Structure 1
């Protein structure tokens, strides 16, 4: 029975990310700013690894290559448009001016994004348990630095720390209904699984390349580059190991 796995890792993917972000917020600001680039590098690796080593190959096992490629391409364009509409958004900079003061919109966008993460987790588990775990780890890894930015934006918007924590947790819990709905929907409509996987891959690729990697380029110098490359490879390696 896969449903308990889906529920467990959906909860871990949502609450775990919020808890990790809340823990980071307890650190001094200098320490937090020092750690975030490392987390972002690792998260980018897990996203790319899950997309290119898991989701796309598994989708290709079920559907025609051209159909999968078209779906991935359409997904990337879709997520670009959603981000332009400030629905699909990520901010890892605590001084992010674009979203400052946009607490309610941020919470709505976060709930939508986490609902989609639930679909990702369910589709991955319906493919295999190891791949479901790998996809869940990728979700957790990229959500933690995002949640740190979200907390900062909510605090700047006038929310107390407790209210920001409660509201962020509630919006993150949208992962669970998304996963349960996807589990039953995809269980009845198995032919949709490769296309959900392809769209999931598109979201992971977009988040990694459009949101996370540009943040990494703010750190210059050979030392920063080597560290980022090592952590990027570590993220990819984690996905490879979990799927074995």
Structure 2
């Protein structure tokens, strides 16, 4: 059953974002990404700091110093991955309100758009391993972690779709390539189930690595996008969406317990 949960969670994360991107107009997608970035900020921070990290530190026989060291190494690792353009968060696109220059999307997509897809595939593969590790600890933790990953994947994949379309891809081809990229999460989840499952003593450290991924994405990528001078109504909307993300994780955790 655990493997089935992992496959279902990773598959939903990869497919749901593509379905949303396929079902909405270009203008609506641009507005949707802005709100989902705020929502996923709250979800990622709440999942990492209120659920996954406490689970890791409460595991019997763990050393707090070693776990904090793992957290530091994890943050630096994802920083270096992003430096190498292998851990992308493509929420930026022309028309998103950040005053990007013309041809910005074409530059982001790179030659043939495959730099976006390669980075996204590696990101999704890592997410799959993270989901597998969480489900191997408990179904509740797996469900909460999957929720955080899925809600972050939606704005990421929508952003990728917008970038690829603006860079010259047809809508159908952009959606198809994004769906294929999303399936790497399933590969990561299945591989994680068989490889990670044999090393239960490493679970707390894998959970800390998962938390470092969530914290890094929220603090290094999502929050800077929102740190702009905005009309007070948009600022309140940002705060409300972040609060909704926090409330969503807290409610889900309470219901599952």
**What TM-score, normalized by structure 2, do the two folds share?**
0.88
Q: What SS is found at the alignment partner of 2:108?
A: coil
Alignment of 1:75-224 (within 5 A): 75-95=74-94, 97=104, 99-102=108-111, 103-218=113-228, 220-224=230-234
User: Is this contact kept in 2: 1:22–1:148, CA < 8 A?
Assistant: no
Q: What SS is found at the alignment partner of 2:58?
A: helix
Partners in 2 of 1:77 and 1:231 — Cα distance?
28
Q: What SS is found at the alignment partner of 1:218?
A: coil
Structure 2 residue runs of 5 or longer lacking an equivalent are 95-99
Structure 1 residue runs of 5 or longer lacking an equivalent are none
CA RMSD of aligned residues (A): 1.6
Partners in 2 of 1:14 and 1:74 — Cα distance?
27
Q: CA offsets per residue over residues 209-228 of structure 1, 9 Å max, x none?
A: 11111112235133222221
User: Is this contact kept in 2: 1:45–1:231, CA < 8 A?
Assistant: yes
Q: What SS is found at the alignment partner of 1:220?
A: coil
Alpha-carbon distance change, 180 to 28 in structure 1, aligned in 2, over 3 angstroms? closer
User: Is this contact kept in 1: 2:78–2:213, CA < 8 A?
Assistant: yes
**What TM-score, normalized by structure 1, do the two folds share?**
0.92
- Range with greater deviation from structure 2 (96-105 or 137-146): 96-105
Partners in 1 of 2:110 and 2:212 — Cα distance?
29
Partners in 1 of 2:216 and 2:40 — Cα distance?
13
- Range with greater deviation from structure 2 (145-154 or 204-213): 145-154
Give the count of matched residue pairs.
241
Q: What SS is found at the alignment partner of 1:188?
A: coil
Query: Which of 22, 37, 46 is matched with 2:34 structurally?
Result: 37
Partners in 2 of 1:94 and 1:22 — Cα distance?
17
